[in-house]
Amino acid sequence: SNRIFLPRRVSTRGLVELDLSELKDGRLLLIMRGSNAGMDSLECPGRKWISFSSDGGLTWGKITDLRYDTGEQFYSPATFARTIRSTATGKLYCFLNINADPPVGNGPRYPLQVAEIDEEKICLKKETVTIIDDRHPELDSEHLQLSNFGLLEDRQSQQIELYLTRIGERGGGNEVWDADTYRYIIRFLNGQK
């Protein structure tokens, strides 16, 4: 395929941890992680980046930032996003970290959210953004990472299962890896979460 990239002034570590999904009209959607590490987070805020292919991945369109259906931009750290189509609803959903404030490089990696993808406009439906898990200010360390999760659909129940180790929940340093793994069950009803 053709080469797609972002200049270093937009993403210092290129585009990595790709997520590929097929849209209802047959186009391919590629969601990519960039990074603003080493740059001013206000001048170069963290985003999720997207590109489309209408020919099965032989060629890719211009890279743009993933936005809400309102046209608003949102902040996202250098973490991957994952998409899955629900058998129960037939809709495509995106699981990712969205931050209220501009992230710096890889963090913060919380909260973890899910949102429905508008497959015509190729954006997140803002009204569907739902928090799956977030840092508890009194119980969780500031080093908490709600990223690097596994995702699958149970074929019988049609529920989404998300597996996540809450790295850093007990602290940084030597405690960063002392974390529990959780299974989250997500059920979509009539197009809603």
pLDDT in tens, 130-188: 999 999 999 999 999 999 999 999 999 999 999 999 999 999 999 999 999 999 999 99
**Could you tell me if residue 105 is inside a domain?**
yes
**Could you tell me if residue 96 is inside a domain?**
yes
Strand-by-strand arrangement of the 48-53 sheet: 16-22, 28-33, 48-53, 64-65
Asked if residues 17 and 49 have their Cβ atoms less than 8 Å apart, the reply is no
**Could you tell me if residue 83 is inside a domain?**
yes
**Could you tell me if residue 193 is inside a domain?**
no
**Could you tell me if residue 86 is inside a domain?**
yes
Q: What band does 122 get if pLDDT is binned at 50, 70 and 90?
A: very high
Asked if residues 76 and 97 have their Cβ atoms less than 8 Å apart, the reply is yes
Q: How many CB atoms lie within 10 A of CB 62?
A: 8
Return left, alpha or beta for 179; rule: phi > 0 is left, psi -120 to 50 is alpha, else beta. Answer: beta
**Could you tell me if residue 2 is inside a domain?**
no
pLDDT attached to residue 167? 98
Count of structural domains within the chain: 1
Distance CA 46, CA 101 (A): 10
pLDDT attached to residue 141? 96
**Could you tell me if residue 7 is inside a domain?**
no
The pTM (predicted TM-score) of the whole model is: 0.96
Mean pLDDT score, 33-55 = 96
**What CATH number does residue 116 fall under?**
2.120.10.10
**Could you tell me if residue 114 is inside a domain?**
yes
Distance CA 87, CA 92 (A): 9
Mean pLDDT score, 68-97 = 98
Q: Tally the C-alpha atoms within 13 A of residue 135's C-alpha that lie toward its C-beta.
A: 23
